[in-house]
Every structure is written in C-alpha cells, then in structure tokens.
Amino acid sequence: MTVFWILALFCLLVLLVLLCPIEVHVRYDGKFTLRAGAAGIRFRILPSWETLLNDPTLSLEKKRRIRKKILKKEARAERKAAKKALAEAKKTKGRKESDRKKKPKEKDEKKAPKRKKSLFRDIRFLARAVKILLAKFGRRLKVRLRTLSLTAASGDAAKTALLYGGMAQAAAYLLAVLDSFSRLTCRRGAVSVSADFLSETPKAEIDVLFSIRVGSLLSLGFSAVWLFVKEGFAKAGKRDASDGAGMDSGERGKKKEAAKPSL
C-alpha cells in the first residue's frame, strides 16, 4: 500500500511539472525589461544589475542592495574561473603524462572516402522540419497582449500623420502575425494608436506575456528527434537500394562477359 501511494505521489509530481507553464514577460515603457520564469516565479534577465545601478530614479537603499548583488555575482564568477583553471591544469598535466607513456602507433590504412551528401536534400529536409515544428509550437504557445500603446509625434503635423499611419499599419500586421502564429488573447482596450500633434517625441508602451507548458516543450523535442531519426532511416534505405542496384548491375555485367563465346 505504501508503494502505491509513493507511485501515486510521484505521478502527481510529474503531472504538475508537465503542466507547469514557462513564461517570458516582455515590457517596454521607455525602458526594455525582460523576465523569465516558471510557476509564477520570475527572474529578471534585462536590464542587468550594472544598468540598474546607473538609474537616477532608484533610491539609495535599492542601489546599495544592487551593489551587494553585483559583488556576490563577481565573487561567484571568480570562484568558478579559479575552479575551471585548476581543472584545466590537471587535465593538461594528465594529458602530458599519458602522451609520454604512449608508444608511437603505426599509421592506419587510408579510409574509404565518404559519400558526399546532397546539400539540396538536407536544406529541403531542414525547411520541412522547421515548418512542422513551428506549426506545432504555435499551437501550444500562448500570447497575452496586455498593452500595446503607440503614440505618433513629431515637430511637423504632416510627418506626425504619416507616422501615425505607419504605426497603425504596423500594429495591425503585428496582431495578425501573432494571431496566426500563436494562441493570442487580448483584452478590450489593450491596443491603442494615437497621434499627438503637440509633442515632438513618439512614445510606445508594450507589455506582452509568452507562456508554454513544459509538457509541450518535451513533445516538441520528441517530434524533432523523431523527424531526424525518420530522415536517417530514409537515407539509409536509399543508400542500401543504390548499393543493391549497383551490385545487380555488376553481376549482370559479369554474366554477360561469361556468356560470350571464347575465340
């Protein structure tokens, strides 16, 4: 009975991991911010700590915390570099000792030249594989568009009108691409394009959240492996067929020569 509960708990944990979403949060409001995480826990990737340290809007307490994190990061990097250098020194020392003990080996016989691969066939296979994987990835990718606010502005009214038209067209194209490529959700009023004839600098505010489940990523990985394995089997079958055809033609040639009357 205990084994059953342990197996049930293990299966439940595996199911929760497979259903756990991996999220990438992209935000721009004059500053670009990129966060990634899973199960509601996110880590900032951009901007870096060094960039945040030069931000004049941060308080002294936050800058002090950032300096501590930067010092910890540098110390960690130094420890890793020292360990790596020590491991490389040990490897080089062991390699030198093994080279001394090794005896000179005789040269191997020349290997038969490998067959040249068809570049066009490989490119066609890669294009087909990318197309299939992108279609599967798009069906599993969720995109939540929280905010897409574009404001056209310049010193001239005519240029502002032209910029407004370009921004509106670009926003429409972006929504069409996201809708066709992924499962797009957008709340009402999230997209807005406006023109400001009094200002001279255009503004943009973008807030997008991309998410995909761990099980979907594993499924895509298995699909990619299966595509490459299937292509390998197809190439091996074609190679065997060509070898068999060559052997058959050679045997027929030998039989014809043997059937010729000797003079």
Q: What is the mean pLDDT of each run of 10 residues along the chain (263 residues)?
A: 83 85 88 84 76 70 77 82 83 68 51 55 77 80 90 88 91 88 85 88 90 86 81 68 58 57 49
Count Cβ atoms below 10 Å from residue 118 Cβ, excluding itself: 12
34 vs 23: CA distance, rounded Å? 11
Quick one: pLDDT at residue 253?
Answer: 57
Quick one: pLDDT at residue 246?
Answer: 55
Quote the DSSP letter at residue 31: S
The three-state secondary structure class of 37 is strand
Quick one: how many helices (H) and strands (E) in the chain?
Answer: 6, 7
Q: What are phi and psi of 185, to 5 degrees?
A: -125, 135
Quick one: pLDDT at residue 16?
Answer: 84
Quick one: pLDDT at residue 112?
Answer: 46
Report residue 39 as tokens: 């199960």
Quick one: pLDDT at residue 66?
Answer: 76
| Cβ-contact 145, 106 below 8 angstroms | no
Quick one: pLDDT at residue 37?
Answer: 86
The one-letter amino acid code at 33 reads T
Helix (H) or strand (E) holding 188, with range, is none
Strands 32-38 and 41-46: antiparallel
Strands (E), the chain: 21-28, 32-38, 41-46, 142-152, 183-186, 191-195, 203-213
2 vs 133: CA distance, rounded Å? 42
Report residue 7 as tokens: 């197996």
Q: What are phi and psi of 86, to 5 degrees?
A: -65, -40
92 vs 98: CA distance, rounded Å? 10
The three-state secondary structure class of 153 is coil
Quick one: pLDDT at residue 136?
Answer: 81
130 vs 232: CA distance, rounded Å? 16
| Cβ-contact 169, 158 below 8 angstroms | no
pTM to 2 decimal places: 0.63
Quick one: pLDDT at residue 109?
Answer: 46
How far apart, in Å, are the Cα atoms of 173 and each of 142, 180, 187, 202?
18, 11, 18, 19
Half-sphere exposure of 165 (CA within 13 A, CB side): 5
198 vs 151: CA distance, rounded Å? 11
| Cβ-contact 112, 156 below 8 angstroms | no
Quick one: pLDDT at residue 113?
Answer: 47
Quick one: pLDDT at residue 14?
Answer: 84
